[in-house]
Amino acid sequence: MHFSASSLNFSILPYQEGYNPPVTKPNPAFLTEIGEEGIRALLDRFYMGLFESPIKHLFPKDKEEMKQAGQTSADFFIQICGGTPYFNQNRGAPQMGRRHAPFAITPEARLHWLVTFEEGLQPLIGKTGDENLQSFWDYINVFSIWMVNTKG
């Protein structure tokens, strides 16, 4: 038998209060390889995972509203990956720290968010290059640190 070796590393960076590491956007090739529909499917899987997660209280209670929130998030990620600026066109500049300020995002909530995101990424393994998938994970890993706004 031959097993392909993956170079993916979905480890989670430790959160250090008061330190926001530099953020590097994902490789645009990630979007090129999976397309806008791939990003939308990813965010749908992710948000449906959040709908059942320990941090579901931070999100809409209605499943259809949650699906819509996932598509708004997909707009953001399409834009971040170098695609059409749907988020800016529909919602204005991202300003994600300000947008997330009303929600108590703890270091523990960040961990749940990342674990759920990693579950959503699993179906993409082998459908996009490891380097591109890794660049996306690296982005959300650091991005999530920037969103923590409440002590645990």
**What is the CATH classification number for the domain harbouring 79?**
1.10.490.10
> What is the DSSP secondary structure assignment for residue 52, as one 8-state letter?
T
Give how many domains the chain has, as a whole number: 1
User: Is-contact 85 79, C-beta < 8 A?
Assistant: yes
24 CB contacts (<8 Å, ≥6 apart)?
135, 138, 139, 142
Q: Identify the burial level of 11 via C-beta atoms within 10 angstroms of its C-beta, where 0-12 means exposed, 13-18 middle and 19 or more buried.
A: exposed
Q: Cβ-count burial of 30 within 10 angstroms (0-12 exposed, 13-18 middle, 19+ buried)?
A: buried
Is 40 in contact with 22 (CB distance < 8 Å)? no
Is residue 98 a part of any domain in this protein? yes
- The label of the residue with tokens 């509203």 reads 65
* pLDDT, tens digit, 9 for 90 and up, residues 71-103: 999 999 999 999 999 998 988 888 888 888 889
**Residue that the structure tokens 């640190």 belong to:** 145
Determine the structural domain holding residue 119 and report its residue range. 28-147
Task: Supply the pLDDT for residue 46.
Answer: 98
Collect all residues with Cβ–Cβ distance below 8 Å to 5 and sequence separation of at least 6. Answer: none
Q: What is the pTM of this model?
A: 0.92
In a domain, 99, yes or no: yes
Q: Is residue 11 part of a domain?
A: no
Q: Please list the ranges in the chain whose pLDDT falls under 70.
A: 1-5
In a domain, 4, yes or no: no
